[in-house]
């Protein structure tokens, strides 16, 4: 899988590229990453990428032309590897990201992550070049880089070979429509609190039953909307 980021701040992606599971997956060749800075596709000495919005209002908007050129460069580079890009823009108006959509996007061979800044991007560029808009939730961030990092992390951990134990991804929260069950490690007693006896029993069937029941219990208590959706899917 390949990720290309259109971003004014490519160094922010070091958070994924240099640490943990995502770093190991990169070292294993499970995905590729390349960034494209719109400032590199400007013609003026100041490398201008923003301007005031028509109609007035606070803040600045990202210009369409530098972004269009950056997207063209990414598309051409991907074509050299016979890859077709799927362009994602991160916006509060986008489709809420969930595990199901993560698994669908995993089937794409190349994602181009368009990371806006300032008050947003010229609407004409979005209409012409974007395949999908994604939101992390009903709140506003300073730019698209953090949502892009979140999406990359969610996708990379699903790639075969990214996790040392593939079962970890299978048991993640939302993988089966429910929250994950509680987990415990040593010591058996910590500050007067015991590890549930069933987890020490060695009875794998009983442990599996307990974990499922705990997933249902937590989901009902914390995210009843997920439980309703899971039950509807079963029916």
Distance CA 35, CA 182 (A): 38
Where in the sequence numbering do the catalytic residues fall? 92, 119, 157, 172
Domain assignment present for 87: yes
Adjacency order of strands within the sheet including 32-36: 32-36, 2-6, 110-114, 86-96, 132-135
* Residue 168 backbone dihedrals phi, psi, to 5 degrees: -60, -45
Per-residue pLDDT of the chain (235 residues; tens, 9 = 90+): 999 999 999 999 999 999 999 999 999 999 999 999 999 999 999 999 999 999 998 999 999 999 999 999 999 999 999 999 999 999 999 999 999 999 999 999 999 999 999 999 999 999 999 999 999 999 999 999 999 999 999 999 999 999 976 566 555 555 578 888 999 999 999 999 999 999 999 999 999 999 999 999 999 999 998 887 777 666 5
Which range of residues forms the domain containing residue 193? Answer: 173-234
What is the Rg, in whole angstroms, of the alpha carbon atoms belonging to the chain? Answer: 22
Domain assignment present for 133: yes
Q: Would you state the pLDDT for residue 228?
A: 78
Q: Would you state the pLDDT for residue 152?
A: 98
Q: Would you state the pLDDT for residue 143?
A: 97
CATH number at residue 178: 1.10.1270.20
Q: Are residues 39 and 115 in the same domain?
A: yes
Domain assignment present for 165: no
Distance CA 106, CA 110 (A): 9
What is the model's pTM?
A: 0.87
Residue 21, CA distances (Å) to 16, 76, 104, 162, 235 in order: 9, 29, 21, 7, 36
Q: Are residues 28 and 138 in the same domain?
A: yes
Domain assignment present for 210: yes
């Amino acid at each position: 899988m390949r990720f290309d980021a259109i971003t004014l701040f490519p160094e922010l992606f070091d958070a994924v590229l240099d640490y943990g599971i995502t770093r190991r997956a990169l070292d294993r060749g499970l995905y590729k990453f390349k960034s494209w800075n719109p400032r590199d596709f400007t013609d003026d000495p100041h490398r201008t990428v923003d301007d005031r919005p028509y109609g007035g209002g606070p803040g600045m908007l990202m210009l369409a032309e530098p972004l269009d050129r950056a997207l063209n460069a990414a598309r051409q580079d991907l074509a050299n590897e016979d890859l077709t890009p799927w362009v994602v823009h991160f916006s509060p108006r986008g489709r809420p990201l969930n595990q199901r959509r993560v698994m669908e996007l995993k089937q794409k061979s190349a994602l181009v992550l368009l990371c806006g800044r300032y008050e947003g991007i010229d609407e004409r560029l979005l209409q012409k070049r974007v395949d999908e808009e994604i939101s992390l939730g009903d709140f506003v961030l300073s730019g698209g880089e953090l949502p892009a990092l979140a999406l990359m992390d969610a996708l990379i951990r699903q790639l075969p070979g990214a996790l040392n134990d593939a079962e970890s991804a299978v048991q993640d929260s939302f993988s089966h429509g429910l929250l994950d069950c509680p987990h415990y490690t040593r010591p058996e007693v910590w500050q007067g609190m015991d590890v549930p006896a069933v987890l020490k029993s060695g009875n794998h069937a009983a442990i599996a039953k307990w974990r499922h029941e705990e997933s249902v219990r937590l989901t009902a208590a914390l995210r009843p909307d997920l439980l309703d959706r899971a039950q509807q899917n079963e029916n």
